[in-house]
């Protein structure tokens, strides 16, 4: 009874934020925009959670817990499910439910932010791709190339989620441009353009680091299945060599982030604060990476490393989106609306 009450309360809270088309009375535009902001953030968090739970499927050896698709196991007793089957099918259910917040975002964008519909459509296409890749993962019995493609498409969806959430929030706050120009404005475009360039370089290199990380994982011991029988195929990279390449790229990214801290050392702004968060996440990621390497890559540390990579990429994507918004706002401002602020250090 208590569990039913909790579920009802949670469902009620979600319905309260559903776009106004589900309400019997017309919803003011401001409420629509507020609901849209809620659902874009909810969608992003859900996508991040799915990526981590997908990694948990592999790290618990549950990748072949379901031998059929879209059902789980043919002729399997429902009243006595296996542990691996429950993990794998549970992840499928969580992934499928992600379409609910996406529909909510689509309803809100269709009403008040039609400029976001392209991103929503791309996200829906990404979900279709995930469904197809999920089927191929099962049918190919965890071919590492398909598994890595599945994970990388999740990263693409997170990127789209960041763009959606940032765009919805930047438009929802009517004073965002004024605050940006007051705190960070400049008499020239040098500072905004420098930071935008640095942010996108950081995001691009972060993506390279993640791709290399998937190659390390695809060559490592965590195949995704504990089932006996034929061994799961792995990528043909030498684990030490590909790990070394991944590590060098991480150090290059760290140097790039250090340059960003130097560039923004005279600024007291949200952009520098975001960069500090990214540096902190990167440092913790490096520590976990070396720790897992020297301790024989235990599953728990690998899981923490993957979760950290999701957080790191998300923060870097926000950094790029915010820096782009600042550069655009500075370019749109007239000389009378620009306010002096420190230039980025050269």
Residue 24 located in a structural domain: yes
- Per the domain annotation, does 295 fall within a domain? yes
**How many angstroms separate the CA atoms of 140 and 155, rounded?**
22
Q: Are residues 157 and 198 in the same domain?
A: no
Asked if residue 4 belongs to a domain, the reply is no
Phi-psi region of 61 (alpha: psi -120 to 50; beta: other; left: phi over 0): left
Domain contains 9: no
Query: Is residue 6 in some structural domain?
Result: no
Kindly state whether residues 186 and 296 are assigned to the same domain. yes
Print pLDDT tens along the chain (346 aa). Answer: 444 444 444 445 554 555 544 444 444 666 667 888 899 999 999 999 999 988 888 888 777 777 777 777 655 444 335 777 788 888 888 888 888 898 999 988 888 888 889 999 999 999 999 889 888 888 887 788 888 889 999 999 999 999 999 988 876 554 344 444 444 444 344 567 888 899 999 999 999 999 999 898 887 777 666 665 556 667 778 888 989 999 999 999 999 999 998 888 776 667 788 899 999 999 999 999 999 888 888 888 988 999 999 999 999 999 999 888 877 766 655 444 444 444 555 4
Residues 262 and 240 in one domain: yes
- Are 21 and 170 in a shared domain? yes
Does residue 318 contact residue 168 with C-beta atoms inside 8 Å?
no
Do 107 and 224 lie in one domain? The reply is: no
Structure-block tokens of residue 134 = 């999920």
Q: Is residue 97 part of a domain?
A: yes
List the domain range (segments joined by +) for residue 104.
15-174
Q: Are residues 134 and 220 in the same domain?
A: no
Our count of domains for the chain comes to: 2
Evaluate if pTM is beyond 0.85.
no
DSSP state of 232: P
Q: How far apart are the C-alpha atoms of 288 and 282, rounded to whole Å?
A: 10
Task: Judge if 21 and 142 occupy the same domain.
Answer: yes
Are both 165 and 202 inside the same structural domain? no
SS3 state of residue 62: strand
End residue of a domain, out of 174, 202, 222: 174
Residue 222 lies in a domain: yes
The CA distance from 298 to 165, in Å, is 34
Q: Are residues 230 and 131 in the same domain?
A: no
Do residues 232 and 142 share a domain?
no
Distance CA 86, CA 90 (A): 6
Last residue of a domain, one of 117, 147, 174: 174
On whether both 98 and 181 belong to a single domain, the answer is: no
d(CA 64, CA 67): 6
Asked if the structure places residue 71 within a domain, the reply is yes
Last residue of a domain, one of 118, 153, 174: 174
Token duo for residue 172: 């929802």
Instruction: Give yes or no: residues 136 and 184 share one domain.
Output: no
């Amino acid at each position: 009874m208590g569990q039913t009450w909790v579920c009802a309360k949670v469902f009620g809270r979600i319905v309260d934020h559903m776009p106004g088309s589900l309400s019997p009375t017309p919803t003011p535009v401001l409420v629509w925009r507020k609901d849209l902001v809620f659902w874009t953030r909810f969608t992003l968090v859900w996508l991040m959670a799915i990526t981590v739970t997908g990694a948990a499927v592999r790290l618990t050896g549950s990748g072949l817990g379901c031998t059929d698709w879209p059902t789980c196991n043919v002729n399997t007793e429902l009243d006595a499910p296996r542990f691996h089957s429950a993990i794998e099918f549970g992840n499928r259910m969580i992934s499928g439910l992600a379409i609910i917040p996406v529909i909510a975002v689509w309803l809100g964008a269709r009403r008040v932010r039609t400029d976001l519909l392209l991103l929503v459509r791309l996200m829906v296409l990404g979900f279709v791709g995930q469904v197809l890749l999920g089927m191929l993962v099962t049918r190919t019995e965890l071919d590492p190339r398909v598994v890595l493609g599945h994970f990388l498409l999740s990263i693409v969806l997170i990127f789209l989620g960041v763009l959606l959430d940032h765009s919805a929030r930047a438009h929802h706050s009517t004073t965002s441009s004024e605050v940006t120009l007051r705190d960070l404005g400049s008499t020239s475009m040098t500072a905004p353009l420098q930071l935008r360039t640095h942010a996108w370089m950081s995001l691009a290199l972060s993506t390279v680091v993640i791709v290399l990380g998937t190659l390390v994982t695809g060559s490592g011991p965590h195949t995704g299945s504990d089932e006996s029988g034929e061994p799961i195929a792995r990528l043909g990279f030498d684990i030490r060599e590909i790990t070394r390449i991944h590590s060098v790229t991480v150090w290059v990214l760290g140097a790039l982030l250090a340059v960003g801290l130097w560039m923004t050392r005279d600024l007291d702004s949200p952009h520098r604060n975001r960069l500090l968060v990214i540096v902190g996440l990167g440092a913790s990621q490096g520590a976990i990476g070396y720790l897992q390497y020297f301790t024989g890559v235990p599953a728990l540390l690998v899981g923490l490393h993957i979760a950290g990579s999701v957080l790191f990429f998300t923060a870097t994507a926000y950094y790029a989106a915010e820096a782009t918004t600042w550069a655009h706002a500075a370019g749109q401002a007239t000389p009378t609306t620009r306010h002096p602020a420190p230039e980025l250090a050269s």
